[in-house]
Every structure is written in C-alpha cells, then in structure tokens.
Amino acid sequence: MADGDALGAAINSGFGVATGIVLNVATLLALVVLLVTALAELRDRSIEAGFLGGPKGRWTRGYRRRRVAALLPVLESLGMDATAQRAIREASSQPKKPTKPIARPDLAFVNRASRWIRALDYPVYAYHGTRYYLDLMGAIDGRADHEQGIDQIFDAWLDKLHRESVVARPDVLLAPKDGNVLLCKQLAERMRLPLILCKGEKDKSRVIGPGGVVHETDFEGLRAFCDREVELRPGSESRPYRAIIVDDSCKNGGQLQSAANRFNQLSESAESGLALAFEPVETAVVLFRSLAGDVSDNGLASAGLTLHSLVAVGEPQLEALVKQKVSAKHMIQYKNDSSCAQSRSLFGDEVSYVSEPVKSPDQVSAGSPDDAS
C-alpha cells in the first residue's frame, strides 16, 4: 500500500513538474510575442517620426505596405472596388527607376533579340526557305529585369527619327491587326499616343461597301479617336492630323501598304463621315526587315509609302547573331537594305570600320581558306 502511495505521489509530482514547464514555456513565448510586437510598434513609430528609413528606403516601403494591408479590410467593408485597391497598392510600392536613354537602338535591338533566334529543323521546317526564325514575341515576353524592353528600343528609334527631322511626330499610331499588336500597344502607351488597328484584307469581320469602298470599321479605334478629339477641341481649325504605320517587322510590306492605301482612301472620301482631316499616310517604321526569300520595294513604292527599318536581317545575319554579340563597328552588316538608309546615316554606320562581311551559313559550315590558316 505504501508503495502505491509513493508511486502516485511520484506521478503527481512529475505531472506538476511537466505542467510547470509547459506553463513556463508558454509564458516565455507570450513574452517573446509581446516583445516582438512592441519592437515592431517601436519600429513603425520611429519610421513615422523619421528616425528610421529614408523616404524611399526598404523599411519605409515595408511600413507603407503594412499600413495598406491593415486598411484593405476596412475599405472592403465600405464597398471599395478592386480598381481603387490596386491603385492604393501601387501607390505604396517602390517607384520605378527612370530608364536610361538608348543611344544606339540598332545595337541594342540585335543583341537583345539574338537569344530569341530559333533554329528550325531545316529543310523539314523553313521560314521563306531559310533555317532561322526571329521570335520577337518571345523577346517581348521573355524580358529579364536588367534588359531593355523592345518597346523602349522602338521608342528610341522613333525618337531618333523625330529629333533628326526625318519623321514628324505623329498624333496617332496605325498598326496592322495581323501584326505584332502587343508590341504596338506597348509602344503607343510609352509614347502616350492613341493606337488604331487596321483589319487585314481577308478579315471576316470587315464591312465591305459597294464597289469595294473602304468602311471606317476597317480601323478599330478610329471613330473613338475622332469623337474624343472633337469633344476635347470643339471647332478647332488646327492642321490635319498625322498618322504613321508601325509594326515589329515586314518583308515586302503587303500589310503596311494595304493599311496605308485604305486609310488614305477613307480619309480622302467625302462620304467617310470622319469628323477630322488627316494627312496622307506616307511613312511606315519597323524594327527590322526580313530579307528571307525574295524581297521587293515595288509594293511600297506603288503605295507611296516610305519604309524606315532599324535593321535588316536574313539568314547570314541571324546565323552570325546566334554565334556572338555584335559591336557598333559591325552594325552596317545588319543594314544591307534600302529601308535602312536613315538608320545607316543617323548612326554613322556608313563610315564605321567593318572587319569582314557576314558569312552565309553554308560558308560558315564549309569554312574558308582564311579560317583554315
């Protein structure tokens, strides 16, 4: 009996000790939580008073995010919509650093796009008879944080043409709907200009008038642009509005000339019903001209359209870009086309030093006497 009493006493004693330990640990954790909370509160009050963190410092940004997170439930209970909530979150985030000017958009473009050149399973797959394809959509979406955006490079190219009085600043951008709409939209937003999309000639949503007369619905966003301008500047007798065509690339320029021809036909028609007058569209600007297959300027010339291309690339140029980066002294090798005349002149490539011409893929694979020596 005595042994049983001793065992019970030992169990009760052990249970008491365990309970005491648990209580002590719980008390310690509570004290730690209180201490951390107090320190966090002290940190926030110090930030508010200006003792910690600069105006754009990491601590200040964190404090703002915490304040916004605490405010959001209150705003939701008051019926605040998602758009307003996003605006508040963006206001508390780190401001974007201003981008540096791009002095050589031509050089920036070829080196930026070089890793997006796709080697096709030739001859099973080919692009106009060539074995390489430049995936510019991939280059737009697959941008690293440190890389310049394709829209930034395009903007720098257009800005250069404007500053050198080659192309007058437009009031609106016109782009083929079958082209690179994503890039054109990004470019328009960067330039703070409206974007009008031109439907393709075979677009099933086109409204065809009698005798093939162009209808304004061929140009998505045109009516909204005209109505907005009339509302903002009622009764204005200013100069006619100016539009230029933009796209990422072209070859013979079929889509560009179609857009120019139809837009000019519409703007010159007395029956168009447009509230604004436009200058004839005579300028198209692209980042690159594809030299794959047969290339001709006849269509552009017949439309009275001047094409300004930053660079021109065919199979030899793409082959070279896959192998190594390009330096400024070799840029003229990527402008061997009439559409690059302004690009050659404005960036001084016509007097730059060129070590050797770009080789074709067959020359590269076969080698040459100079390579062997």
Cα–Cα dist 309/128, whole Å: 20
d(C-alpha 99, C-alpha 85), whole Å:
27
Instruction: Decide: residue 182, CB within 10 A, 0-12 exposed, 13-18 middle, 19+ buried.
Output: middle
pLDDT band at 27 (very low <50, low <70, confident <90, very high): confident
Task: Give the pLDDT band of residue 92 (cuts 50, 70, 90).
Answer: low
- For 317-346, write each residue's pLDDT tens digit: 999 998 888 888 889 999 999 999 999 999
12 confidence band (pLDDT: 50, 70, 90): low
Q: Which residues pair with 284 in a beta bridge?
A: 245, 307
**H helices of 269-340, where?**
298-302, 315-323
Domain boundaries defined on the chain: 2-91, 105-372
Q: Give pLDDT tens digits for 276-312.
A: 899 999 999 999 999 988 899 999 999 999 999 999 9
CATH class for the region spanning 105-372: alpha beta
CB atoms closer than 10 angstroms to residue 153: 24
Closest residue by Cα to residue 267 from 256, 246, 259, 207: 259
pLDDT interval class at 356 (50, 70, 90): very low
For the stretch 217-229, pLDDT in tens is: 999 999 999 999 8
Query: Helical H runs in 92-242?
Result: 105-113, 136-141, 150-163, 181-191, 222-232
Q: pTM of the prediction?
A: 0.69
Span 36-70, pLDDT tens digits: 888 777 777 776 766 666 555 666 777 677 776 77
d(CA 87, CA 84): 5
